[in-house]
Chain A
Amino acid sequence: MGRGRVDLVFAALGDPARRALVEAVAERGDATATELAAGLPVTRQAVAKQLAALADAGLLSATRAGRETRYAVTPEPLSDAVAWMVDVGAAWDDRLARLRRSLAANLETKAL
């Protein structure tokens, strides 16, 4: 189910600066650390480090372009989080349907 990856995504997005970076990359389509740092009060190195962490979490894809790395947003990790909700929700729907039958059967047994 990719639970470990979901945890990594949450950790990566737990930091507001990183979330802002993902948004900035999403707005541009793709971007390098140099381009992103130009509009921010932080160094290129600091941005590059954050981008690498986001790429490790699978939130950004990294492509080498000359001396720089271009980053783009990948939507799959968000799908993992949605998948958790769908899987756990479906599991409870099944369990509660079985619990309903179990309770009904138990009442019938008592009535006999």
Chain B
Amino acid sequence: MQIEREIVFPATPAEVWEAITEAERLEEWFATEVELDPRPGGEGVFRWGDGDERRAVVREAEPEERLVLDWDDEGEVVLELEEVDGGTRLHVTETSPDWSTALELHAFAWVAVA
């Protein structure tokens, strides 16, 4: 099961990369408190104002191109950057570990509803 989002920012890949890998920048949009070592094998801790906390390990980090985080509780997040006319396209994919069976589940849901 996965969700995808795509958005083009009027910024360079370097600027977007900074915003998705530097802890103090991540605190402006992703979580309230962030620690992140943006290198393969590096660890990340994300805390939110409501007391929620999630931990992740960096699986891939290709500067200005691709960042992959493995959540320690479930799933992964893939952030891909691409330079386009007018800025940088960010493609986000968040996957829960069960997404392959979810495709079957989705097909199944149609059968059950029909």
User: Are the CB atoms of A92 and B105 closer together than 8 Å?
Assistant: no
Chain B interface SS verdict (over half): mixed
Q: How far is the CB of B99 from chain A (nearest CB, A)?
A: 9
A36 adjacent to chain B (CB < 8 Å)? no
User: Are the CB atoms of B25 and A102 closer together than 8 Å?
Assistant: yes
Known: A89-B5, A99-B9. A106 touches B19 (CB 8 A): yes
Interface residues on A, range: 20 to 34
- List the B side residues contacting A9 at CB < 8 Å: 105
- List the A side residues contacting B25 at CB < 8 Å: 102, 106
Chain A interface SS verdict (over half): helix
- List the B side residues contacting A107 at CB < 8 Å: 10-11, 15
A111 adjacent to chain B (CB < 8 Å)? no
A7 adjacent to chain B (CB < 8 Å)? yes
Interface contacts (Cβ under 8 Å), in number, total 86
- Partner of A99 from B29, B98, B101, B109 at Cβ < 8 Å: B29
- Partner of A78 from B15, B29, B90, B105 at Cβ < 8 Å: B105
Interchain CA distance A22-B1 in the complex, whole Å = 21
- Partner of B92 from A7, A96, A101 at Cβ < 8 Å: A96
Interface residues on B, range: 20 to 34
| A-contact bits for B67-93, CB 8 A (1 contact / 0 none) | 000000010000000000000001010
- Partner of B19 from A13, A85, A89, A99 at Cβ < 8 Å: A99
* Residues 41-65 of A at the B interface (beta carbon under 8 Å): none
A28 adjacent to chain B (CB < 8 Å)? no
Given pairs A89-B3, A106-B19, 20 additional interface contacts (CB within 8 A):
A10-B105, A14-B101, A14-B104, A19-B104, A75-B112, A78-B105, A84-B96, A88-B94, A89-B5, A92-B92, A96-B5, A96-B7, A96-B92, A99-B20, A99-B30, A100-B9, A101-B28, A105-B28, A106-B15, A107-B11
Which A residues fall within an 8 A CB radius of B? 3, 6-7, 9-10, 13-14, 19, 22-23, 26, 73, 75, 78, 81, 84-85, 88-89, 92-93, 95-96, 98-107
